[in-house]
Chains A and B, each alone.
Chain A
Amino acid sequence: MPKNTIGYAKADYEGVISTLCAGCGHDSISGAIVQACYEMAIEPHRVAKLSGIGCSSKTPNYFLNNSHGFNSVHGRMPSVATGANMANRDLIYLGVSGDGDTASIGMGQFVHAIRRNLNMLYIVMNNGCYGLTKGQDSATADQGSVSKSGSVNPFEGIDLPGMALELGATFVARSFSGDKTQLVPLIKAALSHKGFALIDVMSPCVTFNNNAGSTKSYDYVRDHIEALAEIGFVPEKEEITVSYETGTTVDVELHDGSVVHLQKLADGWDPRDRQAAMRRLQAAKTEGEILTGLLYIDPNSKDLHEVIKSDSRPLNSLKEEDLCPGSAILDLINEDFR
């Protein structure tokens, strides 16, 4: 059995056998998470996986069995993640949510986590429905999409990446559960990004939303997918050795020294341009295309800890003298308030 550079086999990143419906897109995303963490040689105990409620939110049980986990109430994963992250900034935070969990009940929580640029990867397993409660339309269901029972969705669907860009997110991507060659490097890049990283993953619900007329079915997504670039993730230690024609590639260096390598760019587009990304998303929407890939990245992102200048150490490592510096310091502080 092959091992990664820190001596773990892929199986060490797996979870229990999934109880989701056979063929559920969510399982493929779990597979991509396992693959990415294995390849990045992340120590499993350095990861905290968090989720809300839904089929999607059940998945943390199916990957990273040796990591920390928290299954919160419906839509409340962002605040639990915020608290955990504030308390211990040394862990890697991986939030998993559904389109219902995020775009309906959890919307308020979601937007504030983005606004604060909480250092975490937030994956939405987006199937356009409430899978767990038998497939009701969710807020990301596209207008006109036909449900399994034949009803047509009359409401405008929420585009999570578009909204995240609007809110100032520093890493925004969209992908498809059936395209691991794109999803795995995206997850790796997102895990290396310092700040809030959103990956909205089209993840068909085979049981309730894979019918003809649904815009979140395997067939529909495959037919309408449009990738912005081929993406590669190059860890810090490796060098990019292959040379490409100029103008067709962009390399974005992340704060930890690793590089996101984008190849075969659609007409010279630059992922560091927020406005261009927003325009492209809008254009794709009118064309009826599902734009995938790394839509936007801010390599100079400052995460919440940096903004509020919190202590660089996790709270559990602070000693009594750190927390209670004594009356001399208190006097100094009180002087300030005179």
Chain B
Amino acid sequence: MLKNLRIADLSNHTSLKPTEIKNPEYFHKVVDCQYACPAHTPVPEYIRLIAAERYTEAYMVNWESNVFPGVLGRTCDRPCEPACRRGRVEEEPVAICRLKRVAADNKGDVKAFMPQGPFASNGKRIALIGGGPAALTVARDLAPLGYQIDLYDDQDRGGGMMRSQIPSFRLPENVLNEEVNFILDLGIHTHFKTRVDSLRGVLDKGYDAVFVGTGAPKGKDLADLPGRWDSSGNIHIGIEWLASVAFEHTQKIGKKVLVLGGGNTAMDCCRTSRRLGGEEVKVVVRSPRKEMKASPWEIEDALHEDIPIFENHVPKAFVTENGKLVGMTFEKVEPKYENSRRKLVPTGEPLVFFEADDVLIAIGQENSFPWIERDLGLEFNEWGLPALNETTFQSTVPNVFFGGDAALGPKNVITAVAQGHQAAVSIDLYCNQQSLTERPSPYTNLISQKMGIHEWIYDSDVTTDIRYKVPHADKSLTLKDRKKEVELGFSQDTGFKEAQRCLNCDVQTVFSESRCIECDACVDICPTTCITFTTNGEEEDLRTRLNAPANDTSQDLYVSDSLKTGRVMIKDENVCLHCGLCAERCPTSAWDMQKYLYSVTKAGNQCGILQELTT
């Protein structure tokens, strides 16, 4: 009886509404990699182009969206890869990042596809402070629209942290130079070796808008740790030290090096040390290894270069003898979990001493704006960051915009690029006296992939290959030369094979209920049992009633309108392989495979290669 009550109860609740596939975000979310990418690069689109050996176009699809394909194909934090569907249906995601490099390595004359100057002036002048990824993105987006762009940077070349903080063995200088120059060649007025000491000074020059992309230039220190200032010549701040190596002011380091910190900067510091004479290089982190912020592959590369990592060691003091640094002491701790909070509790063991000739402190970065006068009306928040609208990146001074690490705190290159695009959109709207909050909608396009009766334009076969490994240059060579690139990149052949692992998540399964005769053919054929025809209900209940329970609630259910029998079609987007078998078996074409293109609109609604390629 109780059971009956429950059923009656349920029927009173709201059933799921038909999915609004017209909402551009619905299918966007199904393309997991693109959705996870801050710049929303159309990943499957360029992967297919790579498989078709159309490297130039693949590069341009990237360039339009993320501006630095060659740089990012080597150094990106890859938020796309943990999101990749392949990682949910088997072990490892597609090597998206390294495929991007395949496009960059094999591209042809990409310049021919880029905007061709000189551009007719629109009479507006923009100042960019800082020459890193965010500012360069703004430059690229605005220059073709006729803006005069003045770029100020204290380095002697563009690139910002991509040049000063990413070591050459991960990012060769010529790769960076090429991509920086693509932008500077658009007619940017560069003012290198020019340090901006006053925002007021820049504003006084009468620019229509100013963009601040100065990064997070200040490395954190352990200023209060005992002994810190006794032999400070051998204690360095990680990012400053990396910059000084990059600009060739520093060529050597001691034999024994300690690197403090667990992020990617720490990994770059320790690996660079190995190339500058460090023989016994150790990384020491406060917390457990699994909490390290560094990307797993960076950690792996460091371990491969014989750099041990000591976890749960809290620095206690720098030890100096006769005015010379000899090492550091650490307290051993262990993590204790209380109410889902983690505390590091001393184990009570005696302090650990590690010898060191040099110590590199890589425990984080901070923003610093000493050059912005506090009486300009530009407000800062409690973390010392500018008060910004997080969509428009406009500060409290209407014509001053921020982007990259300077905006919302340190993140990564791809985030800086994404923010640069949005700031550029804002600056263009601002200069045209338009509302900044009415953002241009994304460019989208949904096209059937039908070619023959049961044939698709895209390669719908699902390969079972597991992820291919990127070959590395031999350690005996790379450790001798800090400029020798470690990763060799995929060959065209391996690149093709890896590209075939992509499941084409942008080729959507589009369902039209009016055509469905409910014959169940799609249900029977689906290799992952993700389609169910059933009575509608509440989402929570429905998820358990499907032919295969849909346990991953972060993934949507695609729900049709009511069918003839009163039931609905429900598809769990989670593990759909986009293999097209449902559409192949459908007698009435109620299922169709349609390629969904989603592209973030750039400043001035510029039409790029994507639209050209797909229309």
Contacts and interface: CB of A to CB of B under 8 A. Distances in A.
A associates with B: yes
Interface of A: 17-18, 21-25, 27-28, 30-31, 177-178, 180, 204, 206, 210, 218-219, 222, 242-243
Given A218-B518, A219-B564, A23 B524 contact: no
Nearest to A30: B524
Given A178-B519, A218-B517, A21 B587 contact: yes
In the A-B complex, the 4 residue pairs with the closest CB atoms? A23-B587, A31-B524, A28-B520, A23-B519
Contact of B520 (A17, A21, A177, A219): A177
Given A222-B564, A222-B565, A242-B3, A178 B587 contact: no
Interface residues of B, number: 18
B585 interface: yes
Contacts of A222: 518, 564-565
Contacts of B258: none
Interface string B448-492: 000000100000000000000000000000000000000000000
A31 B523 contact: yes
Interface in B528-585: 564-565, 584-585
Contacts of B454: 22
Contacts of B521: 22-24, 27-28
Given A21-B587, A24-B519, A24-B521, 6 more contacts: A18-B585, A22-B584, A27-B520, A178-B519, A180-B520, A222-B565
Interface string B346-390: 000000000000000000000000000000000000000000000
19 contacts: A21-B587, A22-B586, A23-B519, A24-B519, A24-B521, A27-B521, A27-B525, A27-B585, A28-B521, A28-B523, A30-B524, A31-B520, A177-B520, A180-B520, A206-B519, A206-B587, A218-B519, A242-B3, A243-B1
A150 B200 CA distance: 87
B588 interface: yes
Nearest to B454: A22
A219 B587 CA distance: 14
Contacts of B565: 222
A28 B524 contact: yes
Nearest to B527: A11
B582 to A, nearest CB: 10
B518 A178 contact: yes
B585 A23 contact: yes
A98 to B, nearest CB: 17
A11 B51 CA distance: 31
A130 B390 CA distance: 67
Contacts of A25: 519
Interface centre among B520, B565, B586 (most CB of A within 10 A): B520
A37 B588 CA distance: 30
Which has the most chain A C-beta neighbours within 10 Å: B454, B517, B524, B587?
Answer: B524
A18 B564 CA distance: 26
A23 B523 contact: no
Contacts of A218: 517-519
Nearest to A241: B3
Interface in B481-530: 517-521, 523-525
A174 B255 CA distance: 84
A249 B110 CA distance: 74
Contacts of A180: 520
Contacts of B519: 23-25, 28, 177-178, 204, 206, 218
A25 B520 CA distance: 8
Contacts of B520: 27-28, 31, 177-178, 180
A1 to B, nearest CB: 10
Contacts of B1: 243
A230 to B, nearest CB: 13
A178 B576 CA distance: 23
A219 B585 contact: no
B551 to A, nearest CB: 12
Nearest to A218: B517
Nearest to A207: B587
Contacts of A17: 525
A22 B524 contact: no
A183 B524 CA distance: 14
Interface string B1-22: 1010000000000000000000
A257 B1 CA distance: 27
B588 A23 contact: yes
A24 B585 CA distance: 9
Contacts of A24: 519, 521, 587
Nearest to B586: A22
B523 A219 contact: no
Given A28-B524, A218-B518, A219-B517, A23 B586 contact: yes
Given A218-B518, A222-B565, A242-B3, A22 B523 contact: no
Contacts of B517: 23, 206, 210, 218-219
Contacts of A210: 517
A218 B565 CA distance: 11
A241 B612 CA distance: 64
A239 to B, nearest CB: 16
A18 B517 CA distance: 19
Contact of B524 (A27, A219, A242): A27
A23 B522 CA distance: 8
